[in-house]
């Protein structure tokens, strides 16, 4: 029996003192769903630079995807953020889950940037048509999200659509912060419900699958 095409959907572990990461929850929730004729397979990546390369290699070897959509949390983001560019840079604002802060290049021999290859204009159009706020960004930070996108694009080349989506915090996450500190600065405390985020990622994967299956 022929193997169905697969789409790799990645999220990240909990990190940075949070008890929840929407990228992990959404990837887990969508694992096994279908996007057209392609099946979604989810993998959760470690928030560890030392372990990231092996995790990416293993995920790609196991899934053999026709497309990749990677997810991560952007703590101060208010909308779905589609990342256009990955940078050959590390500059951790906080330690990773190994307690390490890193600064420097991801790949000493690699190019300064790599461009996402999933269909950003089509994804953004679909999200806005569905009433889901979304924007395109050329700054994914310099933490593990950027490193994962840079590493995926290096491994896949131009032939496999691949991109990264940054997600806002959920209302529950923001409520937890306000319980701890009622005087928290309201700037940067935007949130988006997990159901809306789930709909957004379904649309993102569907548009990416459409491009891959052409």
- Other CB atoms within a 10 A radius of the CB of residue 155 amount to 15
Interstrand relation of 6-12 and 67-73 (parallel, antiparallel or unpaired):
parallel
Q: Catalytic residue numbers?
A: 83, 145, 166
CA 133 to chain centre: 17
């Amino acid at each position: 029996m022929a193997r169905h095409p697969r789409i790799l959907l990645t999220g990240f572990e909990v990190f940075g003192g949070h008890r929840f990461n929407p990228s992990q929850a959404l990837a887990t929730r969508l694992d096994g769903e279908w996007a057209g004729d392609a099946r979604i397979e989810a993998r959760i990546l470690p928030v560890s630079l030392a372990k990231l390369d092996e995790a990416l290699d293993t995920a790609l070897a196991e899934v053999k995807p026709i497309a990749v959509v990677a997810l991560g949390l952007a703590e101060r983001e208010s909308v779905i953020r589609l990342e256009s560019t990955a940078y050959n840079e590390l500059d951790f604002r906080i330690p990773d889950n190994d307690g390490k802060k890193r600064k420097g290049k991801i790949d000493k021999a690699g190019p300064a940037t790599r461009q996402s290859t999933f269909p950003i204009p089509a994804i953004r159009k679909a999200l806005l048509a569905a009433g889901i706020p979304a924007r395109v960004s050329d700054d994914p930070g310099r933490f593990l999200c950027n490193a994962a996108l840079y590493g995926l694009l290096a491994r896949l080349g131009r032939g496999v659509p691949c991109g990264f989506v940054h997600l806002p915090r959920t209302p529950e996450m923001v409520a937890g912060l306000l319980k701890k500190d009622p005087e928290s600065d309201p700037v940067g405390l935007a949130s988006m419900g997990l159901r809306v985020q789930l709909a957004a990622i379904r649309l993102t994967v569907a548009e990416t699958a459409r491009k891959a299956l052409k």
